[in-house]
Amino acid sequence: MANKIRVSAVSYTNTMPFVYGLQHSTIINSIDLTLDVPAICASKLIENQADIGLVPVVALLDIPEYHIISRYCIGAVAAVNSVFIFSNKPIGKIGSLRLDLESRTSNQLAKILLKRHWHADPIFTTTGSADAFVEIGDRTFGKKDKFPFVYDLAEEWIKYSGLPFVFAVWASNKNISNEFLDRFNEALCFGLENRIEVIKQIRLRDDFDILHYLMNSVDYALDEKKRKGLSLFLELVRELDKPSQKV
């Protein structure tokens, strides 16, 4: 292959099985792999600075020619334990919510749930103090017991929709050969099958169960139910972004 495929993966614990699989497969010789926060993964694919990315799903709406290229994702069929609203008040009584600059998807999910599930209408901010805040990824580990009100956004989405949630998918912004994609998916599969080896390389914590998180909380299969959940979420994001019309 003359030019390596540029791949942007997320640098969170929940993506370490994917990264392990890529790094321990011959596919590593065919790719230029970088590790980024979700928002950067998205911008790289949108701006053609990467060919493939593990992108927050809301970014798909901004990629003119996107292709979901893998049967694996970052998803949840129950509480995911790393995407939260932490709050000092019950969710229905918050007046302000600070969004997380690292993930547009979780911010949009929070807005949808506030509107449709909790029937709340807080002010949104990205800086300063607020009654509650969205936070995702490794920064949330061990925080569940530190706030009076904690809402797992995957769990709340499932209560609302009856469908699992997909946070991120492997997507490309151009056609990639089937031969390469087969090898890419085999590498991802290898990483998932060796999660115990991945966990051995992680410094364990007293306040968070990494083993349970990677083996149970994150659900990696992009199956039909998750695709339905993804379609519904993107439809609701489009509705959310429409300007309100008074009749």
What does pLDDT average to in each consecutive run of 10 residues of the chain (247 residues)? 85 96 97 93 94 95 94 98 97 97 93 97 95 96 96 98 97 97 98 97 93 98 98 96 54
pLDDT score for 244: 52
Q: Find the Cα–Cα–Cα–Cα dihedral 90, 166, 52, 19, rounded to 10°.
A: 80
Token pair listed for 134: 């969205």
Residue 45 to residue 7: CA distance in whole angstroms: 9
- The confidence score (pLDDT) of residue 243 equals 63
Give pLDDT, residue 245. Answer: 43
Give pLDDT, residue 246: 40
Cβ-based neighbour number of residue 243 at 10 Å:
4
Structural domains present in the chain: 5-75+165-223 (3.40.190.10), 83-161 (3.40.190.10)
Residue with structure tokens 């169960």? 209
Q: What is the pLDDT of residue 18?
A: 98
Question: 104-112 and 153-161 are packed helices; what angle lies between their axes, rounded to 10 degrees?
Answer: 50
Q: What is the pLDDT of residue 37?
A: 87
Q: The pTM is what?
A: 0.94
Give residue 87's pLDDT.
Answer: 98
